[in-house]
Structure 1
């Protein structure tokens, strides 16, 4: 009985955020749709400014649950930019919570409405939001040979020409790192070999004991470190984004994230899912930021490939020291000064009340409920049709 009650309370922790965030989706999309129609004859910059403000409202509601509600402790290290800039945000990818971490940093720069993502192509089929993310400036990409460079350049240049503020989030690894997925880690090393980053005769599995010994020995000989806690980054999206916006950008933010669970003993574990995070299974997030001026980024693709890999070598060293340092004083933290950053309720609660109030008001009338259901149904169908036509 007691165990059942505990499990019930555990499940309730993420029920409220799920109901509010999913339940308010039709309200948000309706508000955006009305503004899209009203602004049809207005300059693009006016539409974009209001759209960014609407996006701020929704994302700050998200942050109410992912910061204030969970009580997670945010620890910041490295370069802590305070002013809004046009940037590319590059981070290690390990959890479905990673996109929220970008919001966590953006709201502290008053740039939350300017966050836009490079997304996996299959996410365009998300109900309601699949279409909206593209409208807000998100870019859906396919991997390898199916990557459409021309479309990405076209869209980014249109934003540059319109003077659209850019906080463009890219996860160069392309998929989430999981320490338990040895096949994925092996494939990552094979990809590095194919790209010429590692010697072509070293294609062995990363976690095979004999092969690993040979691999490490060879890397030591030629001075290339083995990536242990990150995957080999892919260059295409980063290169196209930088090349398309280099005269518009201020910097690149190289962000390294660690989710530290409450039972963590200093070992690298699988990062929390959204459900686990909302159930307060991750009391601390460590975020290291390196601000890189655009003049320090090589412009030619092959040089940028090597530069990007070097950035991930730095990430790997940070993570190795975090988890594996023989010095207990250096373990479970990044090097340098740490800033405890707590998000004020003033930044999130008003948006929660507005969005929840509008949704509740709509559901109190029969006409409102009908509009709500039709938005879910027809909005999803029209969104899927739109992204299909665009594809």
Structure 2
């Protein structure tokens, strides 16, 4: 009986956030759609300002669950962001939580509404959000797929590719691909201030034998199985990034060599004082509830109000159905 209760409580840790995050999706899409129509005859800057604000509200609610609800500890190292900048965010990729780590940094620069992503093609079919995510960019994971120590064939293929290209073989990251990074930089170099080269490590992902384990999934993260996230940031001025693709390819691999060395020290160091941390001083960055709780209350309150009336419930269901169908049609046309 006690075990069943514990398992039930454990599952609820994940179910509640998932229900709220998905359940408020129609509310968000309706608000965005209404503003899109209202702003059709206004200058684009007015649409963009409110669109960014709406997006910020939703992402703040996401962070309410992934930071305040889970109680995860965020430890920052390196070039800590101070001012809002136009940046490309390059990071190692190991978990479905990685895009939220980008939000974790963005909210600390008051830039959450401006974050955009390069995502896997399949995510454009995500109900309601797919067509919206399909337009997003700037956060880039050059490895192209997640590093999972259990997928030995993927790691072996990546290391073989590096060797064939005459590049150093990497241990804790996959060999980066250049295409998305080069296209993004070339398209946006006139507006960029810098590139943030970000290395992320989830504490507690080493087993009793010292072997690296798979990083926590979203569900595991929401069940409070990740006590600390270590985030190392290198700020690179855009003038220090080579523009030609052939030189940028080598530069990008060198950046991942640096990541690999950081992660080797984090996971493999024989010195217990150096293990489970990056070099240098860390800053324990706690996110205030004032940054996230209002967004949670606004979106959940509006959704609850809609579901209390028959007309609201019908609109809610129709938004799920027709919003998903229209979104899929839109990305089919754009693909």
TM-score (norm 1): 0.84
Alignment partner of 1:197 is 2:166:
yes
Q: CA RMSD in A?
A: 1.3
Q: Shift of the alpha carbon at 1:45?
A: 1.4
Q: Which residue of 1 aligns with 2:258?
A: 314
Alignment partner of 1:281 is 2:225:
yes
Q: Which residue of 1 aligns with 2:148?
A: 178
Alignment partner of 1:38 is 2:13:
no
Q: Is the 8 A contact 1:179 1:269 kept in 2?
A: yes
Q: In the alignment, which of 173, 176, 184 is matched to residue 233 of structure 1?
A: 176
Q: Which residue of 2 aligns with 1:92?
A: 92
Q: 1:314 to 1:236 in 2, by over 3 A?
A: same
SS in 2 for 1:118: coil
Q: Is the 8 A contact 1:197 1:306 kept in 2?
A: no
Residue range with higher mean Cα deviation, 183-192 or 234-243: 183-192
| Deviation per residue, 1:267-318 (Å, 9 max, x gap) | 4211000000000000100000000000110111011000000000000000
CA distance in 1, matches of 2:13, 2:261: 35
Q: Which residue of 1 aligns with 2:188?
A: 245
Unaligned runs of 5+ in 1: 140-167, 199-223
Q: Shift of the alpha carbon at 1:261?
A: 2.6
Q: Is the 8 A contact 1:262 1:281 kept in 2?
A: no
SS in 2 for 1:119: coil
CA distance in 1, matches of 2:160, 2:244: 24
SS in 2 for 1:253: strand
Runs of 4+ in 1 over 4 A off after TM superposition: 262-267
TM-score (norm 2): 0.97
Q: 1:331 to 1:262 in 2, by over 3 A?
A: closer
Which structure has the larger Rg? 1
Q: How many residues in Structure 1 have an aligned counterpart in Structure 2?
A: 334
CA distance in 2, matches of 1:283, 1:358: 32
| Deviation per residue, 1:170-210 (Å, 9 max, x gap) | 0000000011111000111233245x234xxxxxxxxxxxx
CA distance in 1, matches of 2:9, 2:54: 33
Q: Shift of the alpha carbon at 1:230?
A: 0.1
SS in 1 for 2:116: strand
Q: Which residue of 2 aligns with 1:305?
A: 249
CA distance in 1, matches of 2:35, 2:82: 30
SS in 2 for 1:116: coil
Unaligned runs of 5+ in 2: none
Q: Is the 8 A contact 1:324 1:331 kept in 2?
A: yes
